[in-house]
A and B are shown apart, each in its own frame.
Chain A
């Protein structure tokens, strides 16, 4: 087996006195799509945010391509290889979609304006909103905004994509268009970590499922195995609830 892209070792994170992540060790291989699920407050988002050190974890370490995040001398440059998509899109409202997408390639990666814009347009084409390039975020629908945010993350030409509940703020009919864009990305071989409650997406697209509860990884299995044969009682209960088995 090749070296993992992300290696998490003995990771713990506290918010004040609350222990959000409890001694987590796991790793993620390049080219896989892994869904992280679990009840709310289980630490899924916190774990994801530790992978690019948006959270300053107190114990343990995360290694990205073998580089320790704790001892990383230039965290900004490391982050520019990891794309992230947020629940509330977080597009910059005062910029056009095109400027949103080209900002980091130009200023964090030193691309020329022309190169960055040409690349941005191909990405917008890919998520099917190239006609929205010169509009501002608030003029787009939620689904379009999230696809623009995916394009913005892809513009970094990332080695890893993090999705933090990307469809939780969307209306049902818009969820589909975002999930479709994510599925295409996974099929193209992008390494993805996805925190989501969309079990349909998890079952269809992901390679593996990580199930978390109370700041710990309770169970990690290949997708089909997880759905057909969840090992832990907590995972069984969670699946029953989320798949509406009453």
Chain B
């Protein structure tokens, strides 16, 4: 049995493949970063309101988390892409469909909301890990609840949570591959297209794999640096 495959790496640098790769890489990075920023913002808000004393806010937070966490991401993508426009009033639906980059916007929405639920859970466990006395100290000094979270609890919890937050970014980045199913031209869909046109599957999917691996490696290094920079002197050991 012989291995018969003609490698053609240089073809990746030729058009149209080069164009597709560039578009794929930029879209993947762009989508993941934007989704990450939105997910982090919503996640911090949802995670925090789940820790407040108001039963209504807690209910909203819990409902959000349970809803978005317990439906598979692929299903959520399809729901946002195929079902959501149908639920809009007719003329809204028409203007929605006329928006440019519908797949990208839908993908961004789905990825952010899904990941925000996971971030919210991390934030909640981060906040519960903070000694109760910190709340007592901040309350007794006359800070309001919002100030207590803003200045004491969230900055403290965030430092404890950096490793989890980092791994959540890696997840969002890899999950972005799923958006090819609704027509986003990210790197996996580029690889798929190159393979279909050239029959050079090994080269095509190598590009996608290398993209994911180098980006995640960069993120891991950056988060390591951030963790070191924000470490609390004396409390978290120096590396």
A residues near B, CB below 8 A? 49, 52, 54, 76-84, 86, 88, 90-94, 103-104, 107-109, 135-139, 149, 152-153, 156, 162
Q: A86 — which chain B residues lie within 8 A by C-beta?
A: 133, 136-137
The answer to whether the Cβ of B141 comes within 8 Å of any Cβ in the partner chain is: yes
CA distance A92 to B151 in the complex (A): 10
Whether B156 pairs with A93 at a CB distance below 8 angstroms is yes
Q: A88 — which chain B residues lie within 8 A by C-beta?
A: 131, 133
Whether B139 pairs with A54 at a CB distance below 8 angstroms is yes
The answer to whether the Cβ of B192 comes within 8 Å of any Cβ in the partner chain is: no
Whether B136 pairs with A54 at a CB distance below 8 angstroms is yes
Q: B144 — which chain A residues lie within 8 A by C-beta?
A: 76, 108
Whether B137 pairs with A138 at a CB distance below 8 angstroms is no
Whether A52 pairs with B232 at a CB distance below 8 angstroms is no
B residues near A, CB below 8 A? 131, 133-134, 136-144, 147, 151-152, 155-156, 159, 232-235
Whether A156 pairs with B137 at a CB distance below 8 angstroms is no
Main secondary structure of the interface of B (DSSP, over half): helix
- On whether A82 and B140 interact (CB within 8 A), knowing A93-B156, A103-B151, A108-B147, the answer reads yes
26 example contacts (A-B, Cβ-Cβ < 8 A) are as follows: A76-B142, A76-B144, A79-B140, A80-B141, A83-B140, A84-B137, A90-B131, A90-B133, A90-B137, A91-B137, A92-B138, A92-B152, A92-B156, A94-B159, A103-B141, A107-B143, A108-B143, A108-B147, A109-B142, A135-B233, A135-B234, A136-B235, A138-B233, A139-B233, A153-B141, A156-B141
CA distance A93 to B131 in the complex (A): 11
Q: A78 — which chain B residues lie within 8 A by C-beta?
A: 142
- On whether A104 and B142 interact (CB within 8 A), knowing A92-B152, A93-B156, the answer reads yes
Q: A76 — which chain B residues lie within 8 A by C-beta?
A: 139, 142-144
Chain A nearest Cβ from B53, distance in angstroms: 10
Q: Which of A54, A84, A90, A153 contacts B134 (CB 8 A)?
A: A90
CA distance A49 to B139 in the complex (A): 11
How many residue-residue contacts, CB under 8 A, span A and B? 84
Q: A80 — which chain B residues lie within 8 A by C-beta?
A: 141-142
Q: A84 — which chain B residues lie within 8 A by C-beta?
A: 136-137, 140-141
Q: Which of A136, A152, A156 contacts B233 (CB 8 A)?
A: A136
Whether A152 pairs with B155 at a CB distance below 8 angstroms is no
Whether A137 pairs with B142 at a CB distance below 8 angstroms is no
CA distance A152 to B137 in the complex (A): 10
Q: B136 — which chain A residues lie within 8 A by C-beta?
A: 49, 54, 84, 86, 90
Output the nearest chain B residue to A81 by Cβ-Cβ distance: B142
Output the nearest chain A residue to B134 by Cβ-Cβ distance: A90
Chain B nearest Cβ from A43, distance in angstroms: 17
Q: B159 — which chain A residues lie within 8 A by C-beta?
A: 94
Most buried by B among A78, A83, A92: A92
CA distance A207 to B166 in the complex (A): 56
Whether B139 pairs with A79 at a CB distance below 8 angstroms is yes
Q: B142 — which chain A residues lie within 8 A by C-beta?
A: 76-81, 104, 108-109, 156
Whether A79 pairs with B137 at a CB distance below 8 angstroms is no
Output the nearest chain A residue to B153 by Cβ-Cβ distance: A92
Q: Which of B143, B151, B235 contacts A93 (CB 8 A)?
A: B235
Q: A104 — which chain B residues lie within 8 A by C-beta?
A: 141-143
Q: B133 — which chain A residues lie within 8 A by C-beta?
A: 86, 88, 90
CA distance A103 to B139 in the complex (A): 12
Chain B nearest Cβ from A56, distance in angstroms: 10
Most buried by B among A78, A80, A93, A138: A93
Chain B nearest Cβ from A129, distance in angstroms: 15
CA distance A112 to B136 in the complex (A): 24
